[in-house]
Structure 1
Amino acid sequence: MLEELPQENIVIVAQNISSGGGAVLLNQTLRQASTKKSVVCIINDTFQIEPIPGVEFIRMPRSIFARLKIDLVILKNHNTPNTAALYFGNFPPLLPLPIKTYVFCQNRYIVGPLDLKVSRIFAIKVALQKTLFKLCSRKEHTFIVQTKTMAALVKQSLHFSPILKVLPFTEKVSWEKIRFENKPNSQKPFLYVASGEPHKNHLNLILAWEILSSKFGLHPELVLILNAKNYPTLHKILVDIASQKRLNVRIVNEMEHSNLLNAIANSVTIYPSLFESFGLPLVEANQLNAPIVASDREFVRDVCDPQETFNPMSAESIATAVAAFLNKNP
């Protein structure tokens, strides 16, 4: 993405990036940076990243006060010609900056409708984030998104016509590093790589596995990549259901990205998410020619052409799509 920015000096504000797809994209963006550019990256004090030649890292805590301090630091130390600020974590700067400012939007919650049942606390949090996004967004900002769907949502969410760049950036998978196993699709596990936010729809997925067992007599393996430390309540619910119903479900903590790519290459990617800004696992599965069974939603069609689709709101529909895939791939 940095190659698309004409400025030679780039300050990347990634203070609220910690894990998941955002962390993968940040790593890829920094490693693809041209040596001709001078890059300063502001990250939080717990984010784990290896040194990258040509990139200076500055650590800041995750807080609204630290965000204000970051803007002041940019005003004081980086207010120079041919310099741009890239706000990587959805939110624009709190203060108006005299330098060119880009805002990378990858969170559907803050620009799209909240069409799912969530706790009151979560709903209030999202409402505050939406308000902050609208208050801080300015006409002179350039908003970077990865799909046309996200571009439309950003445009709808603001009271002015924003400058938009659609950059579906992701690092090309190196096939030389992938160890392909010679297994038919019917013997491959179904893999879901996702965080534990409500829109990821884990509960409908595991209920679908119960239907596959009880109604269709099918017992494919389901592997969930889920960080138990970050989502302990969801993790316990999924473990309990799988244990009580004796389902063929395995939950794995987050793994190194290289190992994850190997897992995707040798699995059927299943993706029951209700909405996404991009869907990186879908993109990677598509690059690896791995089969995909996914939600019948626009964000899926933005990045791939799945073998089977389903209504993600219906566990029955998910189970039927999986059964259809297995029947077509004996």
Structure 2
Amino acid sequence: MKCKLFIHATNIHQGGGYSLLSALLDACPGEQEVVALLDRRIPKPTNIPGTMFIKFVQPSIRQRFYAEWWLWQNVRSQDTVLCFGNLPPLFKLRGHVIVFVQNRYLVERVALRSFYIKARLRLGLERLWLSWRAGNVDEFVVQTPSMRTALLSSGCVVKQPVHVRPFVKVSGGYQRTMSLKHVRQDGHKRYDFFYPASGDPHKNHRRLVKAWCLLAEQGLFPSLCLTLDANVSSELCIWIDEQKLRYGLKLENVGFLPHDKALLLYVQARALIYPSLFESFGLPLIEASQSCLPVLAAELDYVRDVLDPEQTFNPESSISIVRAVKRFLGEGVGPLPLLDATQFMASVLGKVE
């Protein structure tokens, strides 16, 4: 019998994960028999080949457990199973199992106390699931070397290989194509800076907005576009609105956008700014490069894994973010003026104005 490819993605329905899943489904060869278990909340894929069977699963514990049992019943020894949502199958399957791990929270023991209780419970459960059922996996796939290091250090991997396969929707156009001087002088953009990110704590919005407040105190008011969902991140959005009003910030939150609409904003900005504290991949970094957009980003491994940004900063320091923004805008940030011993003594004695 001909082997089948099972794509298990019942917990993917939005954001970058959904964008990659859509591209993956479109790339399935027409001659390959594919069975896709998908979240009921996503739109039904179009142009499905006759060799693809889609089984939609409701986002409930009961239905997802049933999907796991269904896999156990239907996967044969010659089949391949691609688990696209970070988690191994609940049951030991007869086929070859590949798990694509994208969520860094599951492999790094980062404190979850800054999350709402529902998200904390979900992430805690998924961490347990990954470590408990990792023995059901034949190989892992991640997108960057630093994510591979994090997964290997997590204790989940025993003897399975961990492959680094940077996966994006379109792989071309991944290099700088214009000079930084030219971009600085481009005053015809809608925004100076764009940060497409959810309101999760590691996305670091508070330090970014504090940097904009410090810039305002220095008489600089660059515009910034955010994509925060006010329903999901209500407390953060209220705080940002308060800072915007207090300091007169040129800051616009356009709300959550589907991935295709978010892509349109890249061409409306002069630069991407990316202060996230950690990522499994950092897809917007790639998309910015493909859109010929300069990048200001955290000086962290996940950034250097995928590109060489135009400016970097310490993401835990709003002052460092301010300095990077000023360098990009061509606002001089000179070195600290030093005094020799004679000048210092003169200042102490009050002989220097």
User: Which TM-score band applies after superposition, normalised by the shorter structure?
Assistant: 0.7 to 0.9
1:78-114 CA-to-partner distances (Å, cap 9, x unmatched) read 3235321111111111111111111110000010130
The Cα of 1:254 is off from its aligned counterpart by 3.1
Contact 2:4 2:80 in 1 (8 A): yes
SS in 2 for 1:53: coil
Q: Percent identity?
A: 33
Counterpart contact for 1:68–1:95, Cα < 8 Å? no
Bigger Rg over Cα: 2
Say if 1:49 and 1:265 are closer, same or farther in 2 by CA, change over 3 A.
farther
Identify unmatched segments of 5+ residues in structure 1: 1-6
Residues in 2 aligned to 1:119 and 1:228: alpha-carbon distance in whole angstroms: 15
Classify the secondary structure of the residue corresponding to 1:12.
strand
Aligned to 2:313: 310
CA distances 1:266-297 after superposition (whole Å, capped 9, x unpaired)? 42110010000001100111122210000111
Asked if structure 2 preserves the Cα contact closer than 8 Å seen for 1:145 and 1:166, the reply is: yes
Structure 1 residue 143: Cα displacement: 0.8
| TM-score relative to the length of structure 1 | 0.87
Deviates more, 1:37-46 or 1:49-58: 49-58
Take 1:139 and 1:16, find their aligned partners in 2: how far apart are those partners?
18
1: CA distance, partners of 2:230 / 2:24: 27
Unmatched runs of 5 consecutive residues or more in structure 2: 333-353
Compare 91-100 and 269-278 and name the one that shifted more: 91-100
TM-score by length of 2: 0.82
1:4 aligned partner:
none
Q: Which moved more, 1:28-37 or 1:39-48?
A: 39-48
1:115 is displaced (CA, Å) by: 5.6
2:193 paired residue among 190, 193, 198: 190
Residue 19 in structure 1 maps to residue 18 in structure 2: no
Q: Which residue of 2 aligns with 1:287?
A: 290
Structure-1 separation of matches of 2:112 and 2:69: 37
4+ residue runs over 4 A deviation: 122-125
Secondary structure in 2 aligned to 1:172?
coil
C-alpha displacement of 1:261: 2.5
Structure 1 stretch displaced more, 286-295 or 41-50: 41-50
SS of corresponding position for 1:138: helix
* Offset of residue 328 of structure 1: 6.9
- Tell which deviates more after alignment, 271-280 or 92-101: 92-101
CA distance in 1, matches of 2:120, 2:77: 41
Cα separation, 2, equivalents of 1:37 and 1:145: 24
Query: Residue 168 of structure 1: which of 157, 166, 175 is its match?
Result: 166
Cα distance in 2 for partners of 1:264, 1:244 equals: 28
Say if 1:116 and 1:199, in contact at 8 Å, map to a contact too.
no
Task: Give runs of aligned pairs for residues 1-330 of structure 1, distance below 5 A.
Answer: 8-54=3-49, 55-76=52-73, 78-114=74-110, 118-119=114-115, 121=117, 123=120, 125-138=122-135, 140-158=137-155, 160-172=158-170, 184-185=183-184, 187=187, 188=189, 189-215=192-218, 217-267=219-269, 268-327=271-330
Give the direction of change, closer, same or farther, for the CA distance of 1:328–1:244 in structure 2 (3 Å limit): closer
Aligned partner of residue 330 in structure 2, secondary structure: helix
Q: Go from structure 1 to structure 2 and tell me whether the alpha carbon gap of 1:139 and 1:75 turns closer, same or farther (over 3 Å shift).
A: closer
The 3 A distance-change label for structure 1 pair 11 and 282 is: same
